[in-house]
Structure formats: structure tokens, C-alpha cells
Amino acid sequence: MFSRNRDTDMGSGPLFGKILLFALPIMALNLLQLLFNAADMIVVGQFAGKQPLAAVGATGALINLLVNIFMGLSVGTSVVVAQNFGAQDYKGIHDSVHTSIAISIIGGFFVMVIGLLFCEPLLEYMGTPDDIIHLSTLYMKIYFLGMPANMVYNFGAAILRASGDSKRPMYYLSISGVINVILNLFFVLVLHMTVDGVAWATVISQYISVALILLSLMKNHSHIQFIPTQLRIDRNKLIDIIRIGVPAGIQNILFSVSNILIQSAVNSFGSTMVAASTASSNIEGFIGTTSNAYYNAAITFAGQNMGAKKYKRIDSIAKICTLLVFATWIVVGGATLLFGRSLLSIYVNEADVIDLGMKRLQVMMITYFTGGLMNVYPGLIRGMGYSFLPMVVTLVGVCLMRIVWLATVFAWYPTVVVLFLCYPVTWGLTSIGHIITFLFLRKKVYKKDAENSTVITA
């Protein structure tokens, strides 16, 4: 049973419009998140200088490393709940929701403690420049106080998306994000704080967003209703979530490890290059976030149709998501190249930082469609219930190949352009691997379905 107003019936009717309408709120949510993150960067860059900007930027890869295993479990939540919806297994939905929230609470506190204890030695290991490491450490220690809220929000949003509702997470993030921006300005401009101000603003806004999403789930009258007194971990659902989520989390960790290696190489060029890379990567996120929206759409649509045993619709989902990736890359990537210098000047005024930022933008935007394909096809594969093979492909195509690139090509030609070429080269190789994997598993699913149909007929 689907709510007429909020949930999308993914198992029948034309797909293009439904996929686009489902992806747009996720895209808007991710864009809002980037805007609010950009507000952190802009406020410290414009009003505190390039060193605080570099300090915040130097923490991104490390933060992602520490949180990504549990973010992978939220992918498991999305797939399991979506497949339960497709199969109309309403008890399964109830058990999955409460298991997921319990996992997110435990995981949030675990990551918070790890982050607080190990952020400084890990930043030192990454070769963070001496003139910004104390600011980076301060930012991370405050940021990780908000990790329990961050985890629960992401799992709650995954539950809503799996049910077909991609709008409410956007609404809640909008509210908390506006508060984040206001607090950024208050802490930095009025109280004269720097990275600690934007970190506290982020933490406060995260607890507001999680309060909103939990209230939404508690007041929900459909099968995804969260009842605090029934919070428990169902063993079978935990196994299902782990089966899908842990490989996804390991894949995310592999990304983070490779990005840490690249961040360490960026650090070797000094704090000016760190600031330039930080501003550029924040801008790149505005096209990357559209790929993430198509990834979530692919997971949810494939998951519901897999649960409903409507396997041939998965082919259409793959074609539509691929088309959307290319269309978005042409429009948004082209606009980013055209207005790159103006966009970078929003973050920082120094000409040397803007020049270096443009070098990175030019390398990335020309080839960003490969990153989009690399996101969509693992989403399709996970929605079908397979999570191990995408992890293996990512291990080889991203982590291993980036290590090889840094140890050979970059070592031979240690320039910033050669360093950033590492991204599109590994994106392209990995996306090819994921597409081949999808085609292989698609045939496997069709064959199994045909065998089952023959048995039933006989």
C-alpha cells in the first residue's frame, strides 16, 4: 500500500518521469547540503582567511574515512526496505526500520569516540601543513560531537527514500541548513570565531535535522512508522542490511583511503594548494551531487522492482539513469567551466588560489560523466541485491589504480594537473568494470527467473 501523496509506485507505469521526480528532491537535498557546506567554506574563506579555509578542507577525506562504513549500512537499509516494499512484506518493513535506527544510534556514538581520539594523529600522518593542523584538529573534534545525529538522520532519510518519499528529507535539511548558515555568520562575524564557529554551527544544525526526521517517522501512519518502545535489532534484518551494507561501506572506505592519499599529495604543495583544492572540490560537488541522486534513484527503483520480481524494468531504469547522467554533465559541467573563476572567487579572493583552483576544475569537469556512471551502476547492482562485486571492482579500479598512479605517473611528473588526472582515469576504469558487472548479473537474474518459471509451469 502506497501513500497517495508521498510515496512513489515504482513497480508500474512509465519510469522516466517517476525517476526524475524522485531524483530531483534528492538532488535538491544534496545541493542544499553542499550550499550549507559551502557557506562554511565561504564564511571562513572570506572573513577568516585562506588558512582556516585550508584547515576545514584538509579534514574532508579523513572525516569520510571514519564515517563511511556506517554510511554503507544506510545503503543496506535503503535496499532492504525497498525490496520489502516491492514484495509488500509489511512486517519486514517494520523490523527493518527499527533495526536500522538502532544501528545508526550505536554507529554514531562509536564513530564519535573514534574521531575524538584519533583525529589529530591521523591528520599528522596525512602530512597536514603545520600552519593549519591545529585548526583542522579543533574543527574535527567539534564536528564529531554531531556524529550521532548525522548517522541517525542519514538512516532515517534512507528509510523515507526507500518507501518512495524523497521530499521530506529535503524539507528537513532546508530548515536545519538555514539555521546552520545563520549560526555560521553569528559565530564568525559577531563572536569572531573561526573554524570552531562553523563546526559548532554544523553540529547544532545536525541535531535539529535528526529531531525533525525522527518526529516525521514517529508520526508516520504507514508501515515505516518508528515506535521508540519497539526499538530493537532484528537478527535476520541485521544480516540482510550487513550483507548489502558492509560491502557498500567498504567501497566507501576504499574511496576515502584513495582520497586521503590524494589529499596527502595535495598537502605536499602547501596550504595555498590545499585552499585551492578545497574550493574547487566544493564546486565540483554541485555536479557530483546529481550523480548521487541518480545513484539513490537506481537503488530504490531497482530494489522495489527486484522485490516485485519485475526484472525487465531494471533495464529501463539503467538506460534512463545513464541518459540523465550525460544530460546533467553537459549542462552543469559546461556551466561550471564557463563560470569557474567567478565561482572560485566566492570562496576566496587570492588570485594564486583561484588560478590553482581552475587547474583542478578544468581536469575534473571535462570528464565528470565517468564519475556519474561509476555511481549509477553500483546503485543498480545493489538494488538487485548484490553488493560484493561492486566492492571488488572499486577496490581494483579506484583504490589500487590510484595507488599505482601516485607511485608511478605522479612520481615521474609531480605536477598538480597530473595529480588530479588520477580522478578521471580511475573513474573511467571503474565505471567500465561496474557496467560489465551489471550486464553479467542481469543475465544471471533473468536466467534464474526463467528457471523458476519453468518449474512452476511444470
5 domain-assigned = no
Q: In this predicted structure, what is the pLDDT of residue 369?
A: 87
For residues 152 and 102, what is the distance between their CA atoms, to the nearest angstrom?
9
Distances (CA, A) of 64 to 104, 111, 175: 16, 11, 24
CA dihedral 149, 152, 154, 160 (to 10 degrees): -130
Q: In this predicted structure, what is the pLDDT of residue 455?
A: 44
Count of CB atoms within 10 A of residue 4's CB? 7
Q: In this predicted structure, what is the pLDDT of residue 394?
A: 84
299 domain-assigned = yes
Give the pLDDT mean for 256-264: 78
Q: In this predicted structure, what is the pLDDT of residue 405?
A: 92
Q: In this predicted structure, what is the pLDDT of residue 301?
A: 87
In the structure grid, which three cell numbers stand for residue 297, read together?
534513484
Does position 234 have pLDDT exceeding 80, yes or no? yes
For residues 281 and 56, what is the distance between their CA atoms, to the nearest angstrom?
12
Give the pLDDT mean for 386-407: 87
Does position 174 have pLDDT exceeding 50, yes or no? yes
Its pTM stands at 0.67
Question: Are the CB atoms for 249 and 71 separated by under 8 Å?
Answer: yes
Q: Which residue has the higher pLDDT, 312 or 62?
A: 312
Three-state DSSP at 334 gives helix
Give the pLDDT confidence of 42-58 residue by residue, as tens digits: 766 665 656 666 666 66
For residues 63 and 123, what is the distance between their CA atoms, to the nearest angstrom?
10
For residues 120 and 308, what is the distance between their CA atoms, to the nearest angstrom?
48
Q: In this predicted structure, what is the pLDDT of residue 438?
A: 93
Give the pLDDT confidence of 428-441 residue by residue, as tens digits: 999 999 999 999 98
- The DSSP annotation for 208-266 comes to HHHHHHHHHHHH--STT---GGG----HHHHHHHHHHHHHHHHHHHHHHHHHHHHHHHH
Domains in the chain, number: 1
Q: In this predicted structure, what is the pLDDT of residue 178?
A: 85
Average pLDDT, the chain: 81
Name the least confident of 32-46, 264-278, 320-334.
32-46
In the structure grid, which three cell numbers stand for residue 1, read together?
500500500
CA atoms within 13 A on the CB side of 354: 13
For residues 216 and 229, what is the distance between their CA atoms, to the nearest angstrom?
16
3 domain-assigned = no
448 domain-assigned = yes
Does position 408 have pLDDT exceeding 90, yes or no? yes
Does position 228 have pLDDT exceeding 60, yes or no? yes
Does position 153 have pLDDT exceeding 80, yes or no? yes
Give the pLDDT mean for 281-301: 80
Give the pLDDT confidence of 77-133 residue by residue, as tens digits: 877 887 777 777 788 888 888 988 998 899 889 889 988 888 788 777 767 777 777
Distances (CA, A) of 11 to 17, 18, 240, 311, 415: 13, 10, 22, 10, 50
Give the pLDDT confidence of 355-394 residue by residue, as tens digits: 888 888 888 888 888 888 888 898 899 888 887 888 889 8
Give the pLDDT mean for 249-253: 75
- Burial code (b: 16+ CB inside 10 Å, e: under 16) for 282-308 equals bbbbbbbbbbbbbbbbbbbbbbbbbbb
pLDDT confidence of 17, banded at 50, 70, 90? confident
Quote helix, strand, coil % in the chain, to nearest 5.
Answer: 85, 0, 15
Q: Which residue has the higher pLDDT, 287 or 340?
A: 340
Does position 338 have pLDDT exceeding 80, yes or no? yes
With CA atoms as reference, report the closest residue to 344 among 326, 323, 364, 359.
Answer: 359
For residues 295 and 350, what is the distance between their CA atoms, to the nearest angstrom?
36
Q: Which residue has the higher pLDDT, 422 or 278?
A: 422
In the structure grid, which three cell numbers stand for residue 457, read together?
509451469
Give the pLDDT mean for 1-28: 68
For residues 14 and 92, what is the distance between their CA atoms, to the nearest angstrom?
27
255 domain-assigned = yes
Three-state DSSP at 309 gives coil
For residues 342 and 415, what is the distance between their CA atoms, to the nearest angstrom?
24
166 domain-assigned = yes
Does position 68 have pLDDT exceeding 80, yes or no? no
130 domain-assigned = yes
For residues 112 and 184, what is the distance between their CA atoms, to the nearest angstrom?
22
428 domain-assigned = yes
Q: Please name the residue ranges forming H helices in 58-89.
A: 60-86
For residues 88 and 409, what is the distance between their CA atoms, to the nearest angstrom?
52
Write the single-letter amino acid at 441.
Answer: L
Does position 197 have pLDDT exceeding 80, yes or no? yes
Does position 458 have pLDDT exceeding 50, yes or no? no
pLDDT confidence of 149, banded at 50, 70, 90? very high
The percent of residues in the chain predicted with pLDDT above 70, rounded, is 87
Give the pLDDT confidence of 69-87 residue by residue, as tens digits: 677 777 778 778 877 777 7
Which residues form the domain of 239? 16-457
For residues 275 and 125, what is the distance between their CA atoms, to the nearest angstrom?
19
